Structure 1
Amino acid sequence: MTATALPAAPPGSPPYPPRPPVLRRAAPALLVYVGVRLLGLAALAGWAAVAGKSPHTLLSGRWDSLWYTRVAEHGYAYTLHLPGGRVHSDLAFFPLLPWLERWLSAVTPLHPADAGLAVGWLASLAAAWGIFAVGDRVYGRSAGIALVALWAVLPTGIVQSMAYTESLFTALAAWALYALLSGRWLWAGTLAALAGLTRPVGVAVVAAVWAVAVAELLRDRRAWRTQPRMLPGVLIAPLGWLGYVAWVGVRTGSLTGYLDVQGGWGNGFDGGLNFARFIGRQLSTPPFAGGLGLLAAVALLGWLYTRCVRQSQPLPLLVYAGVVLALALTGAGYFGSKPRLLMPAFPLLLPIALALARLRPRRTALILTAAALASAVYGAFWLHGSGPP
């Protein structure tokens, strides 16, 4: 199928006209996005000047960025043994970003760390464009612009300008979802495979591809024949994630090799038990603000997802956002990283984007400006902390 063939939209989708993702149509959203990100970088630079730190180092040379750079320079060959028996292996980091860092540093004078920063910045623009394309296609141009602005002003938005994988993954996921919405199965499968080479949560994109395929088959058992590119797209989608996990298994000599590596980092999935315990500890210690804030945040996420369902968002958006949300909340890893792990779940912002799109432009601009200022200050504060984002 092509974009012009849709209203054979994925089941559960509201009716919407096809809109090509032309750059000119997306220009206002991208300009808003660039403005928000420049404000965040300016706040970071100002804070760093006062603190006597380098904003460049904060963005490209700390925490996970160092691990990606090391893989780009030396391959997968580094393991850190910590007191208490914990083992941190670089096999925990998926390979697409370090591959791009290595390639870009080979064809330009950039150091791999700077190449990672360049990839992050370019990918953030591609992500903003993809997010706009999804919002525009489903709910119109104003909603698409508001959706991009909301993604930019997230409290963790500064990560979009770091040498991290969030921007790269979100770009691949957003365009994979757009491909599904427009019936481009091969594009959807290929982008899902690349997303699966970027982060473990790449399974969310694969789940969206498979869910739409199942829904199509339930609607029409002949879909395999009427949409001949569906089967190749479905088969391609999991190859990136499965390929890397299988390679780690061979490398470690264990079928559960990747899970073991993540366990060494203290990561894993326990159904949210550790997260619930963490909230409980926060609630048991005066002044209880931390626990109450976490409860409010979880309630807000649940409310947003419920609103997405009630708005009858297209099936791929619901499946993708639901899986990202579930994986982030049920993970047993570092709790301070959960807001960052939720960043790719941009469809959760659609109910707010629709509400903003219905307001007068002046009021919307005031709300987003205030949010952008708060995000910029918080991002600068966050990166000057001791723990990783």
Structure 2
Amino acid sequence: MSADGTLGAPAGVERETATAAGTRAPAGTGTSAGTGTSAGTGTWADRVSFARSSTVLVAAYLASRVLVLGAVDLARRQQDLGWTRALAPWDGPFYLSIAAHGYPDVVPAADQPDLATAAFFPLFPLLVRGVAEVTGAPLVAAGIALNLLLGVAAVVAVHAAGRTVLSAGTAFLAALVVVAMPGAATFSLLMADPLFVALAAWCLVLLARHRWLGAGLVAVAGTATRPNAVGLVAAAAVASYLALRRDRDVTSLVAPALAPLGTLGYWAYLWWRTGQPDAWFVVQERFWHQQLDFGVQFAYLVTGFSELVHDHTYLVMWSGFLWLAVVAWAVWRGARIPAVPTAYTAVLLGQMLAYSGLGPRPRFLLAAFPLVWLVVQRLGRRLVLLLCGMLLTAQVLLAWAYTSQYVIP
């Protein structure tokens, strides 16, 4: 770790000057050389390059939606499902219930799983309800249309965040990998993942630009969207620490002060509404068996192959270990990312390890998108494109499995 708290550049690579708080751009990454630039703050040529690359990425994303929705339709026909059930599996009915009726005023009993909406954070269903009211569209249609646009925002945001760390060409390839990742199947279903990825990536961009108030507000939205947004709190805290140590910039404290308010505000709301201060935790444990167990279930997942091999969900999670193995290989080969995205990613990985009921599922690994930055540093362009093809194939299969409810997202 370098003097300013960032992770070192790859072995044998000359370090570049710092481009932003907590970020240091490695030159000569695995696919193309160059320094990272915060998209939108470089030269006119940088901005044009970013816009052109983003256009290609959005086109690739939209093309992938055709394949994913084709898989959803195939599952729908095979299972004889209506479109509402097909496009809103698993978490979908809970988000629809929140959008239509809000949250219940009691913590449901164990035999009332349909009332367990308190487990789901409010920003996404509120946006779905808002789009439905403005457009007059049914909630499911409003939600899927919203997620299509949020997916575009997520792709552009991940691309922008990558350019604060990587060269332009490598950042483009990294964003292309994110488009292809299996977890992106949720971007075509009624789930909050595209909203969270978009907010997380833009928060990292704003932290890199020292836009402390903006980063804090985006983090508030993130922590009101998904529980794993606590990684943004860690990222904001590390960015502020580096800014204080290097520049004595006390305004940086705004970001970590604001970041957790989305989650804290939601928990306070549930307390007020149900009269139970730990309502969210009770619902999480009672209905999803998710609690802090310090890796006990994770260890069981790793060692219990013979017992769990017939469960498709566990098979998919085991495939997540393959991705983590590739990441570990890239780190061993000298790939690095700066301290701020490292903090964000480490918290997400820690949650997968320390909480029961999580594990390295595809959508959680997608949320940890800075891992992709490590991988692309050590792969050539052809290997990255081959990886994209393999991942996209897996994404289409996973969309079918999610819709058929053979795999828990």
The interval holding the TM-score normalised by the smaller chain is 0.7 to 0.9
Aligned residue number for residue 190 of structure 1:
217
The answer (yes or no) to whether the contact 2:196–2:226 under 8 Å persists in 1 is yes
**Offset at residue 320 of structure 1 (A):** 0.8
Tell whether 2:367 aligns with 1:344.
yes
Query: Residues 86, 377 of structure 1: CA spacing in aligned structure 2 closer, same or farther, 3 A cutoff?
Result: closer
Letter in 2 for 1:182: R
Deviation larger for 305-314 or 101-110: 305-314
Letter in 2 for 1:26: S
List aligned pairs for 1:159-170, cutoff 5 A.
Answer: 159-170=186-197
Letter in 2 for 1:281: G
Query: Residues 293, 23 of structure 1: CA spacing in aligned structure 2 closer, same or farther, 3 A cutoff?
Result: closer
**Offset at residue 118 of structure 1 (A):** 1.9
**Offset at residue 80 of structure 1 (A):** 5.2
**Offset at residue 355 of structure 1 (A):** 3.9
Letter in 1 for 2:291: G
Cα distance in 2 for residues equivalent to 1:12 and 1:308: 17
Q: 1:223 aligns with which of 244, 249, 254?
A: 249
Tell whether 2:234 aligns with 1:207.
yes
**Offset at residue 55 of structure 1 (A):** 5.0
**Offset at residue 304 of structure 1 (A):** 1.6
Tell whether 2:316 aligns with 1:316.
no
**Offset at residue 74 of structure 1 (A):** 0.9
Letter in 2 for 1:213: S
**Secondary structure, aligned partner of 2:337:** coil
Cα distance in 2 for residues equivalent to 1:81 and 1:102: 27
Aligned residue number for residue 59 of structure 1:
87
Tell whether 2:351 aligns with 1:327.
yes
Which runs of 5 or more structure 2 residues have no equivalent in the other structure?
A: 1-16, 26-34, 41-46
**Offset at residue 156 of structure 1 (A):** 2.9
List aligned pairs for 1:1-389, cutoff 5 A.
Answer: 7=18, 9-11=20-22, 13-14=24-25, 16-20=36-40, 23-54=51-82, 57-60=85-88, 62-77=89-104, 81-83=109-111, 89-220=116-247, 222-224=248-250, 228=251, 230-265=252-287, 266-283=289-306, 297-298=320-321, 300-301=323-324, 304=327, 307=330, 310-333=334-357, 338-356=361-379, 358-360=380-382, 364-386=384-406, 388-389=408-409
The answer (yes or no) to whether the contact 1:88–1:261 under 8 Å persists in 2 is no
Query: Residues 306, 331 of structure 1: CA spacing in aligned structure 2 closer, same or farther, 3 A cutoff?
Result: farther
Cα distance in 1 for residues equivalent to 2:78 and 2:65: 20
CA RMSD of aligned residues (A): 3.1
**Offset at residue 198 of structure 1 (A):** 0.3
Cα distance in 1 for residues equivalent to 2:264 and 2:313: 38
Cα distance in 2 for residues equivalent to 1:332 and 1:211: 27
**Secondary structure, aligned partner of 2:164:** helix
Letter in 2 for 1:247: Y
**Secondary structure, aligned partner of 1:139:** coil
Deviation larger for 20-29 or 278-287: 278-287
Tell me the alpha carbon deviations over residues 66-108 of structure 1, each in whole angstroms, 9 at most, x when there is no partner.
111111111112765445x989621111100111111111111
Which runs of 5 or more structure 1 residues have no equivalent in the other structure?
A: 1-5
**Secondary structure, aligned partner of 1:255:** coil
Letter in 2 for 1:314: P
Query: Residues 130, 157 of structure 1: CA spacing in aligned structure 2 closer, same or farther, 3 A cutoff?
Result: same
**Offset at residue 383 of structure 1 (A):** 2.2
Letter in 1 for 2:68: G
The answer (yes or no) to whether the contact 2:197–2:367 under 8 Å persists in 1 is yes
Query: Residues 138, 200 of structure 1: CA spacing in aligned structure 2 closer, same or farther, 3 A cutoff?
Result: same
**Secondary structure, aligned partner of 1:13:** strand
Cα distance in 2 for residues equivalent to 1:385 and 1:86: 17
**Offset at residue 7 of structure 1 (A):** 4.0
Letter in 2 for 1:53: L
**Secondary structure, aligned partner of 1:198:** coil
The answer (yes or no) to whether the contact 1:119–1:168 under 8 Å persists in 2 is no
Aligned residue number for residue 4 of structure 2:
none
**Offset at residue 334 of structure 1 (A):** 6.0
Query: Residues 218, 311 of structure 1: CA spacing in aligned structure 2 closer, same or farther, 3 A cutoff?
Result: farther
The answer (yes or no) to whether the contact 2:121–2:225 under 8 Å persists in 1 is yes
**Offset at residue 317 of structure 1 (A):** 0.9
Cα distance in 2 for residues equivalent to 1:93 and 1:287: 29
Letter in 1 for 2:371: L
Letter in 2 for 1:339: P
Letter in 2 for 1:315: A
Cα distance in 2 for residues equivalent to 1:206 and 1:172: 13
**Offset at residue 146 of structure 1 (A):** 1.7
TM-score where L is the length of structure 1:
0.84
**Offset at residue 112 of structure 1 (A):** 1.9
Cα distance in 2 for residues equivalent to 1:299 and 1:376: 18
Cα distance in 2 for residues equivalent to 1:252 and 1:287: 39
Query: Residues 114, 333 of structure 1: CA spacing in aligned structure 2 closer, same or farther, 3 A cutoff?
Result: same
Query: Residues 44, 282 of structure 1: CA spacing in aligned structure 2 closer, same or farther, 3 A cutoff?
Result: same
Tell me the alpha carbon deviations over residues 318-369 of structure 1, each in whole angstroms, 9 at most, x when there is no partner.
111111111123221266x83323321111111222344x335xx6545423
